[in-house]
Amino acid sequence: MGDTEFQKRVYEALMLVPRGYVTTYKALAAAVGCGSPRAVGQALKRNPYAPEVPCHRVIASDLSIGGFQGASAGARISKKQAMLEAEGVHFVDGRLSTPDQCFRFSDASR
């Protein structure tokens, strides 16, 4: 079973997000020409290339941690947060503590 063209676009775009940064489902959706952040979330839920394709670097638009591996709470979210903390991305009161750590896809083309 291979990846869909949409999944390939999502994974390729996500590879642009460097260690120490995050993006949002909405920004990633826009980067691949998709109007549905939920569709991006579904592609990431099926990501067979993690952590090389760093789906843990995608958070919600309100700068909360979002989901991970199909979960929105519990051990999987704790794992996502630990992975981000190890990369220098911190959350305070459930939100990204440094919003300038949000990657801008428009900057990647320069």
CATH at residue 61:
1.10.10.10
pLDDT at 2: 81
Into how many domains does the chain fold? 1
Is 102 assigned a catalytic role? no
- For residue 26, give the H/E element and its range: helix 25-31
Range of the domain at 26: 5-98
The CA distance from 52 to 106, in Å, is: 22
Tell me whether residue 88 is in a domain: yes
Three-class SS of 10-70? HHHHHCCCCCCCEEEHHHHHHHCCCCCHHHHHHHHHCCCCCCCCCHHHEECCCCCCCCECC
Whether 92 is in a domain gets the answer yes
- Residue 32: how many other CB atoms lie within 10 Å: 19
Render pLDDT for 86-107 as a digit per residue (tens, 0 to 9): 999 999 999 999 999 999 998 7
Residues of the chain with pLDDT under 50: 110
Does residue 59 lie within any of the structural domains?
A: yes
Can you give the pLDDT at residue 110? Answer: 45
The answer to the question of residue 44 being in a domain is yes
Flag whether 55 is in a domain: yes
Question: Does residue 61 lie in a domain region?
Answer: yes
Active-site residue (options: 17, 29, 55, 59):
55
Whether 53 maps to a domain, the answer reads yes
Whether the model pTM is above 0.85:
yes
